[in-house]
C-alpha cells in the first residue's frame, strides 16, 4: 500500500515516471517522497517536481478569509500548521483529526493530495490512512445495513461555496470501491435520515477497534512529502504535543497525477 521514493533535482523526470508507473497499480495507494530540502525551499522544490508527474490545482483555503463558506484563496498551497490562535480548525490544531477525504465537497476534485513537511512535532502528528477496501470488509462484518445504505444513498457535501452530491461509498466493480466523505462537510440540506446515517458512519470510523487495526500511519520529517489517492483512502492525523506555533507545519495542495 505504501511506497517510498528518494528524489532530487537531477532525477525529477525519472522519479516522476516511476511514480506514475506505480500509481497505475491497484495495490499502491500512498507515496512517500524523501528529499533533503527544508524551510522556505520546500514548496518550490515540490511544485517543480510535480510538473514531472502531474498538475497542481488552485484549490487552497485559509481560515483568515472568513467562515467555512468563504475560505477559498484561489492559490495552490495552504498551511496545515499548528497555531492555537485559530479556534475550531483542524488544520491548525494539535488534536486528532478524524478520517475523511479532501475532495468531498468539490466537484471534479483532482485524484490526489500532496503534503510536504517543513516541521513536525517530536511526539505524535502522524498522518493516518485507511484503505477503502479494508473499510468495506470491516463494515461487511460489523454493519451490512449501514454499508448498503452508504452504497445506495446520495449525500450532499458542501463548503466554501462548493457543493458535491454522490454516494459516500461507490462500487465500481467487484472488490473495487471509491469513497467520498467528510463528516464536517455533510450538508444540513440532507434529510434527517441521511444526517443520522452520516453520524452513525462517523462514529463507527472513530470508535471501531477493527478500523483502528487497519489504519496505517506515516510520520513525515522535514523535507519529506506524501501524496495519496484521495478517492481510494480516508486519511486523518494523530494528535500531537506542541508548545509553540508552527511546531508542526506542512504545506498542502491538490494535484492530478498523470494529467
Q: Are strands 112-119 and 225-229 parallel, antiparallel or unpaired?
A: antiparallel
| Distance in angstroms (rounded) separating the CA atoms of residues 220 and 124 | 10
Residue 259 has pLDDT above 60, yes or no: no
Looking at domain 2-129+216-257, what is its CATH homologous superfamily?
Clavaminate synthase-like (3.60.130.10)
DSSP tally for the chain: helices H, then strands E: 6, 15
Alpha-carbon span 33 to 28, nearest angstrom:
14
Q: Which has more confidence, 45 or 175?
A: 45
Output phi, psi for 92, to 5 deg. Answer: -120, 10
pLDDT band per the 50, 70, 90 thresholds, residue 1 = confident
Mean pLDDT of 43-68: 87
The predicted-structure confidence for 157-173, as pLDDT tens digits, reads as follows: 999 889 999 999 999 98
Strands 30-34 and 225-229: antiparallel
Tell me what the mean pLDDT of segment 102-129 comes to: 95
| Domain boundaries of the chain, sorted by first residue | 2-129+216-257, 132-210
β-bridge mates for residue 156, sequence order? 165
User: How far lies 238's CA from each of 93, 129, 235, in Å?
Assistant: 11, 11, 10
Dihedral class, residue 219 (left if φ above 0, else alpha if ψ from -120 to 50, else beta): beta
**Mean per-residue pLDDT, 79-107:** 91
> Residue 3, SS3?
strand
Residues near 204 by beta carbon (within 8 Å), at least 6 away in sequence: 139, 142, 143, 146, 211
Q: Detail the DSSP E strand segments found in 183-258.
A: 216-218, 225-229, 233-237, 249-257
pLDDT at residue 173, as a whole number:
84
**Which cell numbers in the block locate residue 123?**
511526539
Dump the DSSP string for 101-145.
Answer: -TTTTSTT--SEEEEEEEE--SSB--EEEEEHHHHHHHHHHH-HH
Overall average pLDDT of the 66-75 stretch: 76
What is the structure's pLDDT at 13?
A: 87
The whole-number pLDDT of residue 77 equals 95
- pLDDT of residue 69 exceeding 80, the answer is no
Among 1-5, 139-143, 153-157, which stretch is predicted with the lowest mean pLDDT? 1-5
At residue 64, the pLDDT reads: 82
Amino acid at each position: 500500500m505504501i511506497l517510498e521514493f528518494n528524489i532530487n533535482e537531477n532525477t525529477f523526470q525519472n522519479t516522476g515516471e516511476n511514480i506514475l508507473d506505480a500509481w497505475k497499480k491497484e495495490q499502491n495507494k500512498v507515496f512517500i517522497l524523501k528529499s533533503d530540502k527544508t524551510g522556505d525551499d520546500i514548496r518550490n522544490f515540490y511544485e517543480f517536481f510535480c510538473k514531472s508527474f502531474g498538475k497542481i490545482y488552485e484549490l487552497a483555503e485559509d481560515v483568515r478569509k472568513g467562515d467555512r463558506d468563504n475560505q477559498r484563496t484561489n492559490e495552490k498551497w495552504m498551511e496545515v500548521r499548528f497555531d492555537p490562535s485559530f479556534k475550531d480548525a483542524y488544520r491548525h490544531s494539535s488534536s486528532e483529526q478524524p478520517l475523511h477525504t479532501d475532495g468531498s465537497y468539490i466537484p471534479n476534485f483532482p485524484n490526489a493530495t500532496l503534503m510536504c513537511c517543513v516541521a513536525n512535532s517530536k511526539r505524535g502528528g502522524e498522518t493516518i490512512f485507511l484503505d477503502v477496501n479494508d473499510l468495506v470488509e470491516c463494515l461487511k462484518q460489523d454493519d451490512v445495513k449501514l454499508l448498503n445504505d452508504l452504497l445506495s444513498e446520495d449525500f450532499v457535501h458542501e463548503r466554501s461555496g462548493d457543493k458535491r452530491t454522490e454516494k459516500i461509498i461507490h462500487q465500481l466493480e467487484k472488490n473495487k470501491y471509491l469513497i467520498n466523505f467528510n463528516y464536517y462537510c455533510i450538508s444540513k440540506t440532507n434529510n434527517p435520515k441521511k444526517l443520522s446515517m452520516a453520524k452513525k458512519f462517523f462514529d463507527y470510523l472513530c470508535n471501531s477497534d477493527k478500523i483502528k487495526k487497519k489504519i496505517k500511519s506515516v510520520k513525515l520529517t522535514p523535507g519529506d512529502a506524501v501524496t495519496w489517492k484521495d478517492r481510494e483512502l480516508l486519511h486523518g492525523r494523530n494528535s500531537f504535543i506542541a508548545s509553540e506555533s508552527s511546531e508542526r507545519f506542512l504545506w498542502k495542495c491538490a494535484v492530478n497525477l498523470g494529467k
